[in-house]
Amino acid sequence: MPTLSFKPRVPVFDANIRVGDTPDTPSPCRSRAELLAEMDFHGVQRAVIYHAHTEATSPIAGNERLEQWLGDDGRLVPQWSVLPTAESLAQVEALYAQGRVRCVRLHDTRPAGLPFRCWAYAGLLSWLSEAGIPAWIPLPDADADALVTTLQAYPRLVTVLVGAHYTHALWVRPLLRALPTAYLELSRYEPIGELEALRDEFGARRLVYGSWHTRYAMGPMLFYLHHTDLSDEELALVCAGNLERILSGEGVR
């Protein structure tokens, strides 16, 4: 039963934190120290982070700005953003050669007219699949048909579908059925009772906790996860275990 204060009872590894300012919104966490303090307040030990600049303007420049957030204590895991251009791919390949790529985030090219289709993304997706690098794909502006058609051509590519909303309620289950190596990140997926229903249909191993801080407050979804009928074992998988497995290259079940 809930109380007026809350701390998680399992280790937490947040799969989705955005750092840095966007052109129109200064971040509420202005530094690595402030972010770590926020994580400590909510009982979050580690997080995968990407830079806001990679979404708003440039993956290449944003990746450069991510460096200053990383530190050397291992609490913040970099997520490099990428789009299907030679320069972007070269940047991430160079990081990979240094052993610094555990996951990437696909930059949305649809506003510029490039759809998420094999003919446009084949080079990038082939490389990710062969290298065993999992890809985070934001759902808010995605095309469901393009996602399924394209990703089914890369059956060993592990993806984490990020930011599903209640307005995606008709998509989510068909996507997870059609894409067996896809995981669902939960930062803003709030249809009533759906978390338990997804666990029942797909298993807790397909669900990944993320807050999408600083777009969203860090605590609410973590609180939600702790007030379901998930077992402690399932809760531990969703809050950290599944992400650990994905980042270790063991996301293909």
Q: What is the DSSP string of 20-88?
A: S-BTTB--S--SHHHHHHHHHHHT--EEEEEEHHHHHT-HHHHHHHHHHHH-SSSSEEE-EEE-SSHHH
Residue 106 β-bridge partners: 82
Member of 70, 114, 146, 217 binding another protein (CB under 8 A): 217
Q: How far is the CB of 195 from another protein (least distance, A)?
A: 7
* Minimum CB–partner distance for residue 217 and another protein (Å): 5
* Closer residue to another protein in complex, CB, 181/214: 214
Q: Order of strands across the sheet with 135-138?
A: 80-82, 104-106, 135-138, 159-162, 182-185, 207-208
Binding mask 161-180 for another protein (x = CB under 8 A): ----xxx-xx----------
- Contact residue for another protein among 62, 134, 219, 241 (CB under 8 A): 219
Give the whole-angstrom CA distance, residue 209 versus residue 14.
6
Contacts (Cβ under 8 Å, ≥6 apart) of 76 = 32, 35, 36, 46, 47, 49, 69, 70
Site string for another protein, 110-149 (x = CB under 8 A): ----------------------------------------
Asked if 22 is part of the footprint of another protein (rule: CB under 8 A), the reply reads no
In terms of Cα–Cα distance, which of 186, 164, 188 is closest to 175? 164
Nearest-5° angle of CA 141, CA 224, CA 174? 40
By CB under 8 A, residue 21 contacts another protein: no
Closest distance to another protein from the beta carbon of 187 (Å)? 9
Residue 184 DSSP SS3 = strand
The correct pick among 33, 41, 145, 233 for binding another protein (CB under 8 A) is 41
- For another protein, the binding residue among 11, 118, 223, 252 (CB under 8 A) is 223
Of the residues 18, 42, 53, 206, which one makes contact with another protein according to CB under 8 A: 42
Nearer to another protein, 51 or 213 (CB): 213
* Residue 83, token pair as written in the block: 């789009």
Residue 214 is inside which H or E element, if any? Answer: none
Is 156 a residue that touches another protein (CB under 8 A)? no
Which one of 24, 73, 87, 229 is in contact with another protein (CB under 8 A)? 229
Where along the sequence are the contacts to another protein (CB under 8 A)? Answer: 1-6, 28, 41-42, 165-167, 169-170, 188, 190-195, 213-224, 227-229
